[in-house]
Amino acid sequence: MEHISSKTIADQARARGAHSHVIAGHPTDKLSTLDAIAAALSFPEWFGRNLDALYDCLTDLSWLPTGEHVLIWCGSDELMAADPRAYLAIRSVLSDAERALAPGGDRVDSRRLTLALSDE
């Protein structure tokens, strides 16, 4: 996956009518990253702060408007350096959710998730 600036990613998303959501800060542990994703996508209060709950929320998104939602992860390399296992686990869940909501995926509805990594 190509790393580009979050502004460029957000501009490209907006140009195609997508909603962009930026993971704030540069979390370096699993729980902080889960919390940052939850905040970026306005997860409901019932979010369980674990990988299963992350997948459930990512493949639901019913509280967000219909259409494509681009999750922009700035500084993902910092989590990868600090906790490679957590990084790989979270990336795996994000990729699985992205596939599930893609056309032809097993959870297709009126919302789609796209993950974008930023070099900021």
Residue 1 has a pLDDT of 47
Domain definitions of the chain by residue range: 6-118
Band of pLDDT at residue 92, cut at 50, 70 and 90: very high
Give whole-number Cα distances, 15 to 10, 11, 101, in Å.
9, 6, 21
Tens-digit pLDDT profile for residues 21-30 = 999 888 999 9
Please answer whether residues 96 and 103 qualify as being in contact, where contact means their C-beta atoms are separated by less than 8 angstroms.
no
Homologous superfamily of 6-118: Barstar-like (3.30.370.10)
pTM check: above 0.85:
yes
pLDDT digits (tens, 9 = 90+) for 2-50: 557 888 888 898 999 999 999 988 899 999 999 999 999 999 999 999 9
